[in-house]
């Protein structure tokens, strides 16, 4: 005998609710409209329906538990399969759920918007107040979002009587099936607008250009998004506004390069100044600052100016400014300069410099290699 409990996947002492729940789940999975119309799923669907027919009826279930099969021909009950009941149980409940949902609200939330915000290095370093123009939708000033010509109001849909949906009876191989569809006359809203607002054509909102003021915090970077809650477009039907996200794009600076919250700059120093030492005025984002170069300053030497970098985002303090020294070797020397440099070379015993290879661990290349390999 067929094990109807096994087909529904419920224990033998399952409650009517458990049986109903198991049946609904399986019927959804194996319904021909979902599973396709291949014969295997049709058979499975019939099995599931037959099992439910027996186990959902207290009399049939008792007979089945005692060893009779009420669903098989000559099984004793003679009641047939009762598919109509099953469909009413299943689809009737589904239609009920649909009706409970009711009409779709006409007012819906507006979409979020992503707006690009270009900032220069000074602005991301110190933070800035920006006025950002955005093209968006605002509440229609004529109808205030009601979508109706002033003095008129929405009317209940005569086709669906305000439900927003209509029920149709379709025939299937197992009998009549009730389906619920959105009402075409009112697009599911349950109401129609007899006279749309002339300004917004019944949308409840109109296009507009607004300017949003925003305080950009110090430390934002390319890709940082700033959320302006409720500053986006008003939704259809005058629905609540979406959000605006400002996405930061930092413009390249002429002299400073940003790495994290530190800034880097290259300072070009004549060979003589590097050798003799000097004090230079440096144009920083905080105005002029003095940079002291000691006598004997080397190429690629770094002078760090503490706290002159970018402000840390949502935290106190700032990064540093690293000044990289680039020693410039003079070119296009005139006769007198050549003579002076020759004399210097003689005085330093450097007229014929020996070939001297730096140790592998201390040379420029070693530092470069360490940097590349991340050591
Ligand atoms: Zn309007
Ligand atoms: Zn309708």
In a domain, 46, yes or no: yes
Query: Phi-psi category of 164—alpha, beta or left, where left has phi over 0 and alpha has psi -120 to 50?
Result: left
* Whether residue 266 sits in one domain with residue 361: yes
Residues in the chain: 375
HSE toward the beta carbon, residue 275, CA cutoff 13 A:
7
Measured in angstroms, how far is the CA atom of residue 79 from the centroid of ligand 2?
Answer: 40
- The ligand whose atoms approach the alpha carbon of 142 most closely is 1
pTM as predicted:
0.61
Instruction: Write the CA distances from 48 to 8, 13, 25, 53, 179, integer angstroms.
Output: 6, 18, 10, 9, 21
Write out pLDDT tens, residues 116-163. Answer: 999 999 999 999 999 999 999 999 999 999 999 999 999 999 999 999
| DSSP letter (8 states) at residue 334 | -
Buried b (16+ CB within 10 A) or exposed e, 112-130: ebebebebebebbbbbbeb
Measured in angstroms, how far is the CA atom of residue 166 from the centroid of ligand 2?
8
**Residue 140 assigned to a binding site:** yes
Annotation-wise, does 148 bind a ligand?
A: no
Task: Output the CA angle 269-125-248, nearest 5 degrees.
Answer: 120
34 and 128 part of one domain: no
Whether residues 132 and 216 fall in one domain: yes
**What are the angstrom distances between the C-alpha of 268 and each of 255, 294, 299, 303, 323?**
12, 15, 10, 13, 10
pLDDT bucket at 102, cuts 50 / 70 / 90: confident
Residues lying with their CB under 5 A of ligand 2, a single-atom ion: 157, 159-160, 183, 185-186
Contact 243, 236 (CB under 8 A): no
234 CA → ligand 1 middle, Å: 12
Whether 204 and 312 share a structural domain: no
Flag whether 171 is in a domain.
no
Task: Let me know: does 138 contact 199? Beta carbons within 8 Å.
Answer: no
Q: Which ligand is nearest to the CA of 189?
A: 2
**CA 171 – ligand 2 centroid, Å:** 24
263 by DSSP, 3-state: which? strand
Q: What's the gap in Å between 140 CA and the centre of ligand 1? A: 5
Among residues 21, 56, 76, which one ends one of the domains? 76
What is the Cα–Cα distance from 212 to 290, expressed in whole angstroms?
40
CA of 208 to the centre of ligand 1 (A): 13
Q: What is the CATH number of the domain that holds 204?
A: 2.60.260.20
Same structural domain for residues 274 and 346? Answer: yes
pLDDT (tens digit, 9 = 90+) per residue, 314-353? 888 999 999 999 999 999 999 999 999 999 999 999 888 8
Structural domain range at position 283: 257-373
Q: The CATH number of the domain where 33 resides is what?
A: 1.10.287.110
């Amino acid at each position: 005998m067929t094990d109807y409990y096994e087909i529904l996947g419920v224990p033998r002492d399952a409650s009517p609710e458990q049986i109903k729940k198991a049946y609904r789940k399986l019927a959804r999975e194996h319904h021909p409209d979902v599973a396709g119309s291949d014969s295997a799923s049709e058979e499975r669907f019939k099995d599931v329906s037959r099992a439910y027919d027996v186990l959902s009826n207290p009399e049939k279930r008792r007979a089945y538990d005692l060893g009779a099969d009420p669903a098989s021909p000559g099984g004793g009950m003679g009641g047939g399969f009762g598919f109509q009941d099953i469909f009413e149980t299943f689809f009737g409940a589904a239609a009920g759920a649909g009706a409970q949902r009711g009409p779709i609200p006409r007012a819906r939330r507006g979409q979020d918007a992503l707006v690009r915000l270009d900032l220069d290095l000074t602005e991301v370093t110190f933070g800035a107040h920006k006025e950002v123009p955005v093209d968006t939708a605002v509440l229609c000033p004529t109808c205030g979002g009601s979508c109706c010509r002033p003095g008129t109001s929405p009317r209940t849909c005569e086709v669906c009587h305000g439900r927003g949906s209509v029920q149709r009876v379709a025939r299937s191989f197992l009998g009549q099936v009730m389906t619920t569809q959105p009402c075409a006359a009112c697009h599911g809203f349950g109401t129609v607008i007899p006279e749309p607002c002339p300004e917004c054509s019944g949308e409840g909102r109109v296009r507009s250009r607004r300017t949003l003021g925003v305080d950009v915090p110090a430390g934002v970077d390319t890709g940082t998004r700033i959320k302006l809650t409720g500053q986006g477009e008003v939704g259809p039907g005058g629905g609540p506004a979406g959000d605006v996200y400002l996405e930061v794009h930092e413009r390249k600076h002429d002299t400073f390069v940003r790495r994290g919250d530190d800034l880097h700059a290259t300072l070009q120093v004549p060979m003589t100044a590097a050798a003799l030492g000097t004090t230079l005025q440096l144009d920083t984002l905080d105005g002029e600052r003095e940079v002291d170069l000691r006598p004997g300053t080397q190429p690629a030497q770094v002078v760090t100016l503490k706290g002159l970098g970018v402000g840390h985002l949502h935290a106190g303090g700032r990064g540093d400014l690293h000044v990289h020294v680039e020693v410039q070797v003079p070119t296009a020397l005139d006769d007198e300069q050549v003579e002076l440099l020759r004399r210097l070379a003689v005085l330093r015993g450097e007229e014929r410099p020996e070939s001297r290879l730096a140790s592998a661990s201390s040379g420029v290349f070693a530092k470069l290699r360490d940097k590349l390999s991340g050591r």
